[in-house]
Amino acid sequence: VNLPASQFLMTYDGPRTLIPTASRIRQAQLGLDRAVQNGRLYHLWFHPFNLGQGAPGRMFGALEAILQDVSQRRDRGDIRIMTMEQAATWILNGMRDG
């Protein structure tokens, strides 16, 4: 099953250091909004080693802010958090439970 990425959490190196953390967080929030509105998946991805590239504190800060937003949405019942296996099963079931 192909689980296309919604957003790659880019590292803070080279010219990317100029992209504000708030912009990265806002991009994720907008993607989550669209996923909720359309009943779709939102797939944020990165490689674990990316967290240590560039300015690691900024990477962890951005990820933490995004995960806090996801946690709040989950607690409100707006979204469901799934493993890759669960998401693949959901897609194979026609994007419905069961």
CA of 50: how far to CAs of 25, 47, 83, in Å? 16, 5, 20
pLDDT for 89: 92
Site of tokens 């693949």: 88
pLDDT for 53: 78
- pTM recorded for the entire structure: 0.86
Classified as helix, coil or strand, 79 is coil
pLDDT for 54: 73
Across the chain, which has 98 residues, the per-10-residue mean pLDDT values are: 90 88 96 94 90 80 96 96 92 78
pLDDT for 1: 87
